[in-house]
Structure 1
Amino acid sequence: MSREAVVAALTVPELAPVVDLVVWVEDGVAVAANHVGRVRLHLDGRHEVVSGQDPVASTDPMAFLPYAAELGAPGPRVSTDNAYPYAARRILSAFADADRSPDLAVVHTPRHFFPDEGGHRGEHGSLDVIQSRAPLVMAGPGVRQLGPVDDHARLVDVGPTLAVLCGVPETDLVDGRGEPLDGAPLAQYLQLPPAPAGGSTGGSTGGAVGVPKKVVGILWDGAHCGDLLAMAEAGELPGVAWLLERGLALRGGAVAEFPSVTLTNHTSILTGVGPGRHGVLGNVFYDRATGERVVPNDAATWHRSAEWLRSGVRTVFEMVNDHVPQQNSPRTASIDEAIDRGADYGTMALLREAGGFQAAADGMGDLMPDPASSVFLQHPEHLDDSYFHWGMQVDDLGLQQLLQLWEDAESAPVLTWWANVVTDAGHHGGGPRSAMARDSLRQSDARLVAFLDHLETLGVRDEVTFLLTADHGFEAADPGVTGSWTPALDALGIPYRDEGPGFVYLL
């Protein structure tokens, strides 16, 4: 009864500018509602309209493509003009954790601007296709050379794909309980030899080009899929263009899990399972079992994020290490990534050893690079944004770690995961296609080029396999569309928590 009262209060026309959808699970079925109607979303694709009009009529993961179509409608305004890929599956996963999942989730409209509650000029977190579309580019040994492809994947496919590229047999793409992952390797885009007797190498999809010796996974946090590919094709991102020449990119990118926020999808990428299984429900959530408000996406707790992984979850680092002989140098490395459990080398592990982020920061002192003197700085005015300023420091330090790990090719890790953050800062600060967002893409590409040049010096650039992705997409909020659903909830007199905001827990 309380949930129905909350749904009724949130789906009134007066809140339509800020409330895109209210979603929950009822009797094992995903449900979505707003002011135009209510629908039950079944895994077999059926939409059972309960009342009014179907508010999520389209679930097309290729909506607003080619990119010109998105540019022609840069911010879908109502749900009936939008698309919600894998809506049923993603909602079910977000509500599968009995202790941490909310009773219902409120999805902001793409145009909702809520800086007083943590929002930005550029925004993500929604179930909709543009905020959920991360880029996916692959290149190098083991990857087919197809260039841009009119297709899509899911972010839970990234970890399994990295694993098989590193030689993990597909039979071992399971969680700690032996259950299959939610994602699967993108076999149709790989060229790996059949696994020999004993199953010591990865999946089979055609030409016997050999399992790559070294794999580098790259995450540009929040990088906008359409703009990234358009800039690469226009010659503005030569590093990405180099990857495209030697591999492929999916124009539909990779669909994020819901909510399309940072820690939820970093974890989904690196475990191959959705939030209902890995337990990192969002950047902030409530744990009923402990009575704890969990905020993994914070400088004070970022290095602890792997602590909130549910039992039975395996990371890609653990999968790869299970199939690579122990050696003196790191087999797996995690640079500036929160979900680093199992990696032989991890930036967050160093922070944990130092006693936490603040202790490490105090101890490092002047060791943090000065972004004002960075060779990658193109527009000094963007340093006025504190997040952009910090993001440049982190990414410059990340490149230093990468070059140290790759001092020589022989001792370099089999799997290197390299997370970058300034792209998220640029897209939050200015919104997609803004000067700040494009500056962040160009400088991240310049760091990639610096690494590619280093590999060329080592004579191994064409021997390394790359996978470049992000954790979510971005849309531009409208500063003229403000407001909050909090007064509507408060007026009900029902005890609740609203974390995020958007995760509503009824107490």
Structure 2
Amino acid sequence: MRRYAPGGGYEYEVVEVIGENPLERQDYRALATYEEEMAAAGNPADVQQAYIEPERLTYPYAYERISQLFDSPNAPDLIVNPKSYTYGRQPGQHGALDVVQSRSPLVFSGPGVKRGAMVDAPAKQVDIAPTIAHLMGFPLIDGKDITGRTSSERGNGPDVYLKRQDGRVLHEVLDESAGRPERVYLILLDGQSHTELRYRLEQEPGAIPNLRRLIERGCMLQYGSITNFPSITWPSHNAIGTGTWSGHHDIVNPTYYLRAERRLVSPQGEQFETGKYLNGDVETLYEAFKRVFGPGVFTASINEPCTRGADHASLERRLVGDRGRLIALTKETEHEISPRWFEELEEEGHKLQGQIDNRALAQARLLFLDESHPAPVFVFHEFAQPDSSAHDYGPHHEGARAALDETDRRIGHLLRTLEERGLFETTLFIVTTDHGMATQNVELRANPSRIPQRDGMAAVTAEPCIYLRDLRVEVEVTHDGRSARFAVMDNDADEHGVYPPVAGAEVVVTDRKDGLVARVRTDENGLAACAVPAELEPRELLAAVHAEGFNPRHLRLDGSSVCIDLREVLYGAGEGQRAADGTITPWHSRSKTSRT
């Protein structure tokens, strides 16, 4: 049960559990080190077989992360959360609810934050944007919290920094005596495992020197931050950039179904010009910076799927700076691209990821070197090489570590450029990822999201989301009891809120002995009618409705469901819970469990 919490936001209550509730295991601290992750996998001799069973995992903030998804009009009817190691053919994967796939490293470095600290704090991906806003001195506004209600609607004064804000300020990382930053550079290491990053930092003193420098200059969250659900690229990037979960910014999956338009859209597949899919009721950090500091401030999105409002946005084809100089900067560092990516990585896009990240680095350097505009006040920059390599090699493979090493060298070029411009010390750097990464058993080649459709269910599948193609059926018996009228419609309304009629649907009416009473088809308006036997009550007649491309519907002619109501059978008519001995426990005195 989800309800408004007295202090704002939601509170969650488990009313009833039948069997086991895996979601009650929500410890965000679980499996936060390489050693803990390997132990949970049984310490395999081969790290490529580090498979973790569900009972060894936790699901941090599960109630919030699941429920928010279904707030969106683009939400599926069903979402599948597979075992952590049972998806697809790549050695590394993400997308699920578990702590391994849902934990991102999180580092704050620079003015306004603690220095040289490992911070133990509960953190979510949506906390990053409001923390940036606080550090940059944004004013509090009468905006919406996670419930979709403004501050004034909740009876408060201005208490959020963004138009809609699902997260909180991470006060645990702040050191207000350390001044304020003048700009923010948000580095996203796509798909980088938190446990791998900590392992490299702790076990390899000479490794990743540039990331190490940033971390030593600031603070790292010991247990990282917990991502959006599904823990996957396009939804998570936009959660970071807006401070809202995907169920509120509406990009709920890399590919999802627009019910009103009856079509699939795939922002991740399209890659370019996907800012149009973002909900207009949320605010990106680019937009917020301009609202607070004026339209003249310069912001940039570099190979980053959260783009709306950025002056420079490579994935929106808005490029700022001299093209010739950009090419020259690209050539300066292209010799650092390892040839192994093209030779060894599986996916075509992954083979080119070194070149893509190198071009992105050139964009970033040019934005600070070009004198035609002021230095960016906010940059959101994705490095995708860690993700590509972890997918194709596995998150703990030597190849994934080599990819992080190459990315670290690129970060070094970026830091030197800022130092040369005298901007390094006044810049707040944030290092994070969009999701975690879990080792997969590729021999399974498992894809549980496809099972319902393969078994005959009418659905649109956009893994892990399943959109059912259901019928909406209304039945009315005339006042004289002689006729029944059926209206058969698509259960998904169009953009005007109208349920389109389904023509040609077959309606078969039978009596309680399964005798055929009528067989009719709907006209172009989705309407059909039949006679009702005089000796039978409408509740004694069953209607089965079938239409091509839809799941069938079964109901009684009085409109009631054919299926029994298990809750009523077990507990009576909603007044109490019937025990095995026949006694009834009132609902208000039943034991409650697991409030988060």
TM over 0.5: yes
The one-letter code sitting in structure 2 at the alignment partner of 1:97 is S
How far the C-alpha of 1:497 sits from its partner, in A, is 1.7
State which of 63, 69, 91 in structure 2 corresponds to 1:94: 69
- 1:209-242 deviation per Cα after TM superposition (whole angstroms, max 9, x unaligned): 4321121111111111111122133231111110
Is contact 1:167–1:323 with CA below 8 Å preserved after alignment?
A: no
Say if 1:484 and 1:269 are closer, same or farther in 2 by CA, change over 3 A: closer
- 1:77-102 deviation per Cα after TM superposition (whole angstroms, max 9, x unaligned): 4322210001000000111113x111
Tell me the equivalent position of 2:528: none
The one-letter code sitting in structure 1 at the alignment partner of 2:352 is W
Provide the C-alpha distance between the structure 1 equivalents of 2:24 and 2:54, rounded to a whole number of angstroms.
8
Say if 1:392 and 1:152 are closer, same or farther in 2 by CA, change over 3 A: farther
Is contact 1:214–1:465 with CA below 8 Å preserved after alignment?
A: yes
* Structure with bigger gyration radius: 2
Tell me the equivalent position of 2:88: 114
Relative CO higher for 1 or 2, CA cutoff 8 Å, sep ≥ 6? 1
Provide the C-alpha distance between the structure 1 equivalents of 2:292 and 2:333, rounded to a whole number of angstroms.
42
Moved more, 168-177 or 387-396: 168-177
Is it true that 1:222 corresponds to 2:191 in the alignment?
A: yes
Is it true that 1:464 corresponds to 2:433 in the alignment?
A: no
Tell me the equivalent position of 2:417: 454
Provide the C-alpha distance between the structure 2 equivalents of 1:60 and 1:132, rounded to a whole number of angstroms.
12
State which of 387, 396, 404 in structure 1 corresponds to 2:366: 404
Provide the C-alpha distance between the structure 1 equivalents of 2:361 and 2:341, rounded to a whole number of angstroms.
23
Tell me the equivalent position of 2:437: 474
Tell me the equivalent position of 2:389: 426
Is contact 1:496–1:504 with CA below 8 Å preserved after alignment?
A: yes
Tell me the equivalent position of 2:93: 123
How far the C-alpha of 1:180 sits from its partner, in A, is 4.7
Provide the C-alpha distance between the structure 2 equivalents of 1:294 and 1:134, rounded to a whole number of angstroms.
27
Say if 1:186 and 1:427 are closer, same or farther in 2 by CA, change over 3 A: same
- 1:320-353 deviation per Cα after TM superposition (whole angstroms, max 9, x unaligned): 11111343xx521111112211112211232699
Provide the C-alpha distance between the structure 2 equivalents of 1:58 and 1:440, rounded to a whole number of angstroms.
33
Provide the C-alpha distance between the structure 2 equivalents of 1:190 and 1:392, rounded to a whole number of angstroms.
35
The one-letter code sitting in structure 2 at the alignment partner of 1:422 is Q
State which of 364, 376, 391 in structure 2 corresponds to 1:413: 376
Moved more, 274-283 or 182-191: 182-191
* Bigger helix share: 1
How far the C-alpha of 1:45 sits from its partner, in A, is 5.2
Secondary structure of 1:243's match?
A: helix
Provide the C-alpha distance between the structure 1 equivalents of 2:33 and 2:447, rounded to a whole number of angstroms.
34
- 1:281-332 deviation per Cα after TM superposition (whole angstroms, max 9, x unaligned): 100111101111011002xx222221111121110111111111343xx521
TM-score by length of 2: 0.67
How far the C-alpha of 1:49 sits from its partner, in A, is 4.6
Provide the C-alpha distance between the structure 1 equivalents of 2:214 and 2:133, rounded to a whole number of angstroms.
20
Is contact 2:330–2:359 with CA below 8 Å preserved after alignment?
A: no
The one-letter code sitting in structure 2 at the alignment partner of 1:138 is F
Moved more, 236-245 or 497-506: 497-506
Unpaired segments ≥5 residues, structure 2: 4-8, 42-49, 151-162, 471-596
State which of 120, 124, 127 in structure 2 corresponds to 1:150: 120
How far the C-alpha of 1:121 sits from its partner, in A, is 1.5
Is contact 2:80–2:448 with CA below 8 Å preserved after alignment?
A: no
Provide the C-alpha distance between the structure 1 equivalents of 2:192 and 2:248, rounded to a whole number of angstroms.
25
Matches within 5 A, 1:369-408: 374-378=334-338, 380=340, 383-385=343-345, 386-407=348-369
Is it true that 1:58 corresponds to 2:25 in the alignment?
A: yes
Is it true that 1:171 corresponds to 2:175 in the alignment?
A: no
Tell me the equivalent position of 2:291: 322
Moved more, 180-189 or 492-501: 492-501
The one-letter code sitting in structure 2 at the alignment partner of 1:58 is R
Moved more, 417-426 or 227-236: 227-236
Is contact 1:303–1:351 with CA below 8 Å preserved after alignment?
A: no
Is contact 1:324–1:331 with CA below 8 Å preserved after alignment?
A: no
How far the C-alpha of 1:488 sits from its partner, in A, is 4.7
- 1:132-159 deviation per Cα after TM superposition (whole angstroms, max 9, x unaligned): 0011011111111142223341111112
Secondary structure of 2:229's match?
A: coil
Provide the C-alpha distance between the structure 2 equivalents of 1:78 and 1:504, rounded to a whole number of angstroms.
28
Secondary structure of 2:306's match?
A: coil
Is it true that 1:242 corresponds to 2:213 in the alignment?
A: yes
How many residues matched?
435
Moved more, 219-228 or 209-218: 209-218
State which of 104, 107, 128 in structure 1 corresponds to 2:78: 104
Secondary structure of 1:498's match?
A: strand
- 1:174-213 deviation per Cα after TM superposition (whole angstroms, max 9, x unaligned): 589856510122122123xxxxxxxxxxxxxx42x43211
TM-score by length of 1: 0.78
Tell me the equivalent position of 2:167: 183
Moved more, 428-437 or 380-389: 380-389
Is contact 1:156–1:182 with CA below 8 Å preserved after alignment?
A: yes
How far the C-alpha of 1:493 sits from its partner, in A, is 3.9
Provide the C-alpha distance between the structure 2 equivalents of 1:277 and 1:324, rounded to a whole number of angstroms.
25
Provide the C-alpha distance between the structure 2 equivalents of 1:293 and 1:247, rounded to a whole number of angstroms.
43
Provide the C-alpha distance between the structure 1 equivalents of 2:328 and 2:458, rounded to a whole number of angstroms.
45
Provide the C-alpha distance between the structure 1 equivalents of 2:11 and 2:201, rounded to a whole number of angstroms.
37
Is contact 1:382–1:436 with CA below 8 Å preserved after alignment?
A: no
Unpaired segments ≥5 residues, structure 1: 1-26, 30-41, 192-205, 354-362
Matches within 5 A, 1:7-26: none
Tell me the equivalent position of 2:103: 133
Tell me the equivalent position of 1:302: 271
Tell me the equivalent position of 1:437: 400
Provide the C-alpha distance between the structure 1 equivalents of 2:341 and 2:453, rounded to a whole number of angstroms.
41
- 1:375-397 deviation per Cα after TM superposition (whole angstroms, max 9, x unaligned): 33346355442333321122111
Matches within 5 A, 1:279-298: 279-298=250-269
- 1:443-493 deviation per Cα after TM superposition (whole angstroms, max 9, x unaligned): 111111111122222333222210011100000101232344477524754
Give me the identity figure in percent: 29
Tell me the equivalent position of 1:79: 54
Say if 1:488 and 1:106 are closer, same or farther in 2 by CA, change over 3 A: same
The one-letter code sitting in structure 2 at the alignment partner of 1:303 is F
The one-letter code sitting in structure 2 at the alignment partner of 1:295 is S
- 1:87-126 deviation per Cα after TM superposition (whole angstroms, max 9, x unaligned): 000000111113x1111111121111423xxxx2100000
The one-letter code sitting in structure 2 at the alignment partner of 1:108 is P
Is contact 1:336–1:347 with CA below 8 Å preserved after alignment?
A: yes
Say if 1:488 and 1:453 are closer, same or farther in 2 by CA, change over 3 A: closer
